[in-house]
Amino acid sequence: DQFNNTNIFMRVSTTPYMHHDFCNFQPLSPEEALEEHLLLDSLAWPDTPSLPDPISLEQTSDPAHSTFTILPRRGGREWHVGDQLEVMINVSDFQGRPKKSGGDVIVARLHNATLGAGVAGQVVDHLNGSYSAVFSLLWEGSAKVMLIHPSEAVTVLRRLSIEQPDRIYFKSLFRSGSVSETTTCNVCLKPTQQPLCNYTDLHTGNPWFCYKPEKLSCDTRINHNYGGFKQNIKTSETKLFQSDVNMKVYIQPSGSASVTVFPNKTGKMKNNNVNSGPAGYYYQGGWRALRGTTVHQFNTVSDINQCLKGKMVHLYGDSTIRQFFEHFTTALPDLKEFNLHSLRQVGPFMALDYANNILVTYRCHGPPIRFGSVPISELRYIANELDSVIGGSNTVVVLGIWSHFSTFPIEVYIRRLQSIRKAVVRLLDRAPDTLVIIRTANLKALTLYETLTNSDWFSLQCDKVLRAIFKGLNVHLLDAWEMGLAHHLPHSLHPQPPIIKNMIDVILSHICPQRDS
Ligand SMILES: *[C@@H]1O[C@H](CO)[C@@H](O)[C@H](O)[C@H]1NC(C)=O
Ligand SMILES: *[C@@H]1O[C@H](CO)[C@@H](O)[C@H](O)[C@H]1NC(C)=O
Ligand SMILES: *[C@@H]1O[C@H](CO)[C@@H](O)[C@H](O)[C@H]1NC(C)=O
Ligand SMILES: *[C@@H]1O[C@H](CO)[C@@H](O)[C@H](O)[C@H]1NC(C)=O
Ligand SMILES: *[C@@H]1O[C@H](CO)[C@@H](O)[C@H](O)[C@H]1NC(C)=O
């Protein structure tokens, strides 16, 4: 189903779960605690090599010495639409010796530029230095395999998660009369002599703390700001994160990467894989879902207006959700943004098409949002916002929250989503006709800074958690992970306009489903 992720790896980690003793976790019910336990289990990444000091690359995974091969079809017959293509990936080190262990972060896609087509592959780690990527053949094309991180880089990222969950920090300004002070805030705040202000949200239980200002009281907090990033890895470790060397580098085929696919005689694809395989694929640049609602294209202002007429669309989340607000206000000339004097990055935003009675709003999620100058009165948790939505058949909620969580223990994210899920359940209980769409994480461009604060390896875990937590609810998943991975445009935190247009088509197709022809 739509909640399966495209990456599969085996549960083998023997590392016991580490406690991050200066992070604050809200208490859980027994059911939630069990769910968290199972989630942590399912996230276990294969053990990765321990690193010598200083690091030399010699024995680390090298995309240039690694290859992939298209395996022949069993029985040696030709390929047909609807078949599964398997690619074997062998990873070797910088000295050309085959790796004997797994844990490399690898993604794969099949694409055909002429057809504007792309589909994500499912990667399986065999834990012996080789990996398989499996593709659904929907048209003929060529396979692309990318090493995102060598397994040795995962060793570093994993250590950062445990030892430096406060490497991104936050600040708040406190002010009363002419006195102002700034202190550091976080969910993971190292104990010092300085007392703490406890801003834990009483309704959701989401924890948040600042050091208490010296002169001022805790209730004089004015705003919330991104504070900065403490980079604290060994210089030699940075070798493991080099673009063009071992980070986001394509692995070359040992033979041909292309496969000739003969059409199925009826031209219809056999859908024998309803519960696994890709969520969809691109064809002629348009996203086609393989499960659930058929995606239609909404190419004109009048198509979109007709669909949105009489609707209230509430967007909640990080900047990847803000992109949807920006798309709607750009695409629809009569949807006028009301000037709330908000900061461009932060919001909140509201846009109205009076004649068509369309309302679109955006609000960013609460801490640990990495935006600057969020006024405390605008610092809201999505769960609390959802509790203020009446809901009903004219209400659409789109939410997405992931990219600001990757430096924290994953428990912080799990608990945040559990609290949002409770609010979604309450909303759907009181107004079952409300349409709720949840956007997943996506791959992004990686520099060293981006990697240490928001690597795809962290996003992959957020993505798995999100799919698991909302599974079984009457909500729709917007599969940003696959929609970014399958597309020919480069990975980007903020996917480029052609991808956003496709995401909007998915959203509108859920709002206005059309009978399949
Ligand atoms: C991958 O490794 C296996 C096992 O050693 C070998 O049989 C196969 O030929 C290798 N494939 C490539 C493309 O190197
Ligand atoms: C690794 O394991 C897979 C699955 O068991 C096998 O097909 C492959 O040949 C093995 N590769 C190597 C290099 O041993
Ligand atoms: C893309 O598809 C077209 C039409 O089926 C085909 O002629 C072409 O060879 C394909 N390109 C690749 C790279 O496979
Ligand atoms: C912070 O406040 C919450 C809610 O009142 C409480 O449950 C929690 O124990 C407090 N945490 C600390 C460290 O004081
Ligand atoms: C081709 O279509 C026929 C009829 O729908 C179906 O029975 C067959 O399984 C399909 N083959 C593939 C490879 O999809």
CA of 79 to the centre of ligand 5 (A): 12
- CA of 111, closest atom in ligand 3: 13
Mean pLDDT, residues 290-302? 94
**224 lies in the same domain as 329:** no
Amino acid at 429: D
Question: 364 and 303: one domain?
Answer: yes
Q: Please report the pLDDT score of residue 53 as a whole number.
A: 87
- Alpha-carbon distance 218 to 381, whole Å? 20
Same domain, 199 and 331: no
CA angle 197, 370, 232 (to 5 degrees): 85
Amino acid at 62: D
Asked whether 126 and 102 are in contact (CB, 8 A), the reply is yes
Chain mean position to CA 395: 24
CA 268 to ligand 5 centroid distance, Å: 7
Report d(CA 268, CA 290) in Å as an integer. 12
CATH of the domain at 459: 3.40.50.1110
pLDDT at 275 over 70: no
Nearest residue to 143 (alpha-carbon basis) of 107, 117, 121, 110 = 110
Q: Is 140 in the pocket of ligand 3 (CB under 6 A)?
A: yes
Q: Write the DSSP assignment of 47-109 as a string of letters.
A: P-----SS--GGGSEEEEEEEEEEPPPGGGPPEETT-EEEEEEEEEETTSPBP-----EEEEE
Q: Answer yes or no: is 465 within a domain.
A: yes
Classify the phi-psi angles of 195: left when phi > 0, otherwise alpha if psi is within -120 to 50, otherwise beta. Answer: beta
Q: Is the CB of 272 under 6 A from ligand 5?
A: no
What percent of the chain is modeled with pLDDT above 70? 93
Question: Concatenated DSSP letters for 381-409?
Answer: -HHHHHHT----TTEEEEEE--TT-TTS-
- Judgement on whether residues 149 and 206 belong to the same structural domain of the protein: no
CB-based contact 13:40 (threshold 8 Å): no
What span, in angstroms and rounded, lies between the C-alpha atoms of 38 and 289? 29
Task: Report the atom number in ligand 2 closest to the C-alpha of 128.
Answer: 1
Q: Distance from the CA of 90 to the center of ligand 1, in angstroms?
A: 6
- 424 inside domain: yes
How far away, in angstroms, is 110 Cα from ligand 3 center?
12
Position 33 in a domain: no
> 117 and 185, same structural domain?
no
For residue 195, the ligand closest to its alpha carbon is 4
The answer to whether residues 86 and 217 belong to one domain is no
Residue with CA closest to ligand 1 atom 8: 90
Inform me whether the pLDDT recorded for 3 exceeds 80: no
> Ligand 1: distance of its center to the CA of 88 in Å?
8
207 falls within a domain: yes
Tell which of 188, 205, 229 closes a domain: 229
Ligand nearest to the CA of residue 96, numbered in listed order: 1
Between 21 and 207, whose confidence is greater? 207
User: Could you tell me the residue range of the domain that residue 182 belongs to?
Assistant: 160-229
Contact 365, 480 (CB under 8 A): no
Pocket test for ligand 1, best of 93, 130, 145, 256 (most atoms within 8 A of CB): 130
**What is the per-residue pLDDT across 420-444, written as a single tens digit (0 to 9) for each?**
999 999 999 999 999 999 999 999 9
- Per-residue model confidence (pLDDT) at position 516: 56
Q: If you take atom 3 of ligand 2, which residue's CA is the nearest one?
A: 126
Q: Are residues 347 and 407 in the same domain?
A: yes
Residue 5 in any domain: the answer is: no
Q: Would you give the DSSP letter of residue 215?
A: S
Q: How many domains does the chain have?
A: 3
Give me the pLDDT at residue 66, please: 98
Residue 134 covered by a domain: yes
Give the CATH number of the domain where residue 85 resides. Answer: 2.60.40.10
d(CA 87, CA 145): 9
Do 437 and 327 belong to one domain? yes
CA 270 vs CA 63, 137, 313, 354: distances in Å: 35, 11, 36, 46
DSSP for 444-461 reads ----HHHHHHH-HHHHHH
Provide the percentage of residues in the chain whose pLDDT is more than 90.
83
Q: Are residues 363 and 413 in the same domain?
A: yes
The preferred substitution site among 87, 93, 130 for testing ligand 2, maximizing ligand atoms within 8 Å of CB, is 130
Residue 269: per-residue pLDDT: 52
Q: Is residue 119 part of a domain?
A: yes
Euclidean distance between CA atoms 427 and 422, whole angstroms? 9
pTM, two decimals, is 0.93
Mean pLDDT of 408-425: 97
Going from the Cα of 168 to the center of ligand 1, the distance in angstroms, rounded, reads 42
Looking at 188, 208, 229, the residue that finishes a domain is 229
11 pLDDT higher than 50: no
Q: How far apart are CA 92 and CA 100, in angstroms?
A: 9
Per residue in 454-506, pLDDT (tens digit) is: 999 999 999 999 999 999 999 999 999 999 999 999 999 999 999 999 999 99
CB 375 within 8 A of CB 222: yes
412 and 464 belong to one structural domain: yes
The pick from 186, 197, 198 for probing ligand 4's pocket by mutation, whose C-beta has the most ligand atoms within 8 angstroms, reads 198
Helix (H) / strand (E) element for 437: namely strand 435-439
Are 438 and 470 in contact by the 8 Å Cβ rule? The answer is: yes
Residues 246 and 369 both lie in one domain: no
In-domain check, residue 241 = yes
Mean pLDDT, rounded, for 372-387? 97
Distance CA 378, CA 372 (A): 12
Residues 500 and 418 grouped into a single domain: yes
